Structure 1
Amino acid sequence: MKKYMIPFILLLCIQCKNATTLSEEERNFATTELDRSKDNLLQSIKGLSSAQLYFKPDEVSWSIAECVEHLTLFSTELFEILEESLELPANPERRKDVKFSDKDLMIYVRDRSKKATTEEDFEPKNTDGNHTATLTTYLDNLEKHINYLKSTQDDLRNHYVNFGTVDAYQIFLYMAAHTNRHIEQIEEIKNTTNFPKN
């Protein structure tokens, strides 16, 4: 039995050596960006009335409440995206396919000069029933994401998400930048000439 255990232990050691856990700098960067985007969002919608939250600049544009719901849907889906990426074996060979550095990815995602349409899964549908419930779901999800990043030993750098390509760590940076992108959209709505006064 012992002769079979030695190769098994060696294999475990090799896997541990090859695994890449996040550095404290990476953890701090991602959690700080997520916290900052949350604070910016809360500041952007603070004190808005129901008329202001549900105002639409035109028939095809989203309201502020719909922007928040879209962000909430994405934050919920992130759990599944992450789970799917971690189900596959870690693959350091795919690092060459990652298109952006961490900071460049955030700049790219936030850039509203590049218009984009969202997938059907992320289209606002009044899922939670009201804006307050939606915002609560968003904040709960964000807290879970941040707690995960602070403690995970998962090899996020060598697992990948297939829209990009970005690695599993960068999906959290994508989320922060995506929130900031829609904060800019919210500010544009608030600056519309016929935006309700209260």
Structure 2
Amino acid sequence: MKKLIFMASAILMLSFLVVDPISKKERKDALKLLKDTEQGVKDQVKGLTEAQLKFKPGPDRWSIEECVKHIAKSEEMLWQMMDSVMKGAATPDKRSEIKLTDEQLIQRIEDRSTKVKTMEKLKPENIPLKNTEEALASFTKDREKLIEYVKSTESDLRNHTVAFPFGTIDSYQMILFIAAHSNRHTQQIMEVKADPNYPK
């Protein structure tokens, strides 16, 4: 009997040590950012004509359609990267290398005053998506997959890290990165629409 009571007590104590891998607030914040930035992309392209989608403000600038293709392909690639990181071993020893808070990371990615050259395979001309419609469908599929993941995951997101050229982030921050990245290019779409020569 004493042994049973001891075991029950031990299980009860351990249950208090089991911590949600991310807090309720973190889960809620990530889901809101993912949903808001998904809707942001869709709102900006809704009802646009072919001429508006393909208009380029300059020879070295992207059209709205090219922005959407880049968003879609980046979403796929970043999701695959995160999935691969989560399937690997946790790296809690790398947490000391993380220098950006969640808020700082979002601000950094969304800040278009700092220009960044994308890799070759993420340039619109190298993306095998036929048009805006196909790109939006791809983006929606991957974003919904990520939203479902965030809703249900019990994985240790904070102790799986990934190194980027700008520094190391954890997998929870990777989710914020993905959302902020789509917003970065939603802003780019808005810049295209603000051009004086944009078709009306």
TM norm structure 1: 0.86
Q: Where do 5+ consecutive residues of structure 2 fail to align? A: 1-13
* 1:22-58: CA deviation from partner (whole Å, max 9, x where unpaired): 2221111111001000111111112111110011111
The residue aligned with 1:3 is none
The residue aligned with 1:188 is 191
The residue aligned with 2:5 is none
How far apart are 1:194 and its partner, in Å?
0.8
The residue aligned with 1:8 is none
Determine helix, strand or coil for the equivalent of 1:193: coil
The residue aligned with 2:7 is none
For 1:146, give the aligned amino acid: I
Aligned partners of 2:109 and 2:184 also within 8 Å: yes
Give the superposed CA RMSD.
1.7
TM norm structure 2: 0.85
Query: Which range moves more in the overlay, 141-150 or 37-46?
Result: 37-46
Distance 1:69 1:161 in 2: 25
How far apart are 1:120 and its partner, in Å?
1.5
Aligned partners of 2:73 and 2:127 also within 8 Å: no
The residue aligned with 1:114 is 114
* 1:88-130: CA deviation from partner (whole Å, max 9, x where unpaired): 3212221111121111100111111111101122111352212
How far apart are 1:78 and its partner, in Å?
2.2
* 1:117-158: CA deviation from partner (whole Å, max 9, x where unpaired): 011221113522121011011011100000001111111110
Q: Where do 5+ consecutive residues of structure 1 fail to align? A: 1-13
Aligned partners of 1:19 and 1:155 also within 8 Å: no
Distance 1:117 1:128 in 2: 20
Aligned partners of 1:30 and 1:173 also within 8 Å: yes
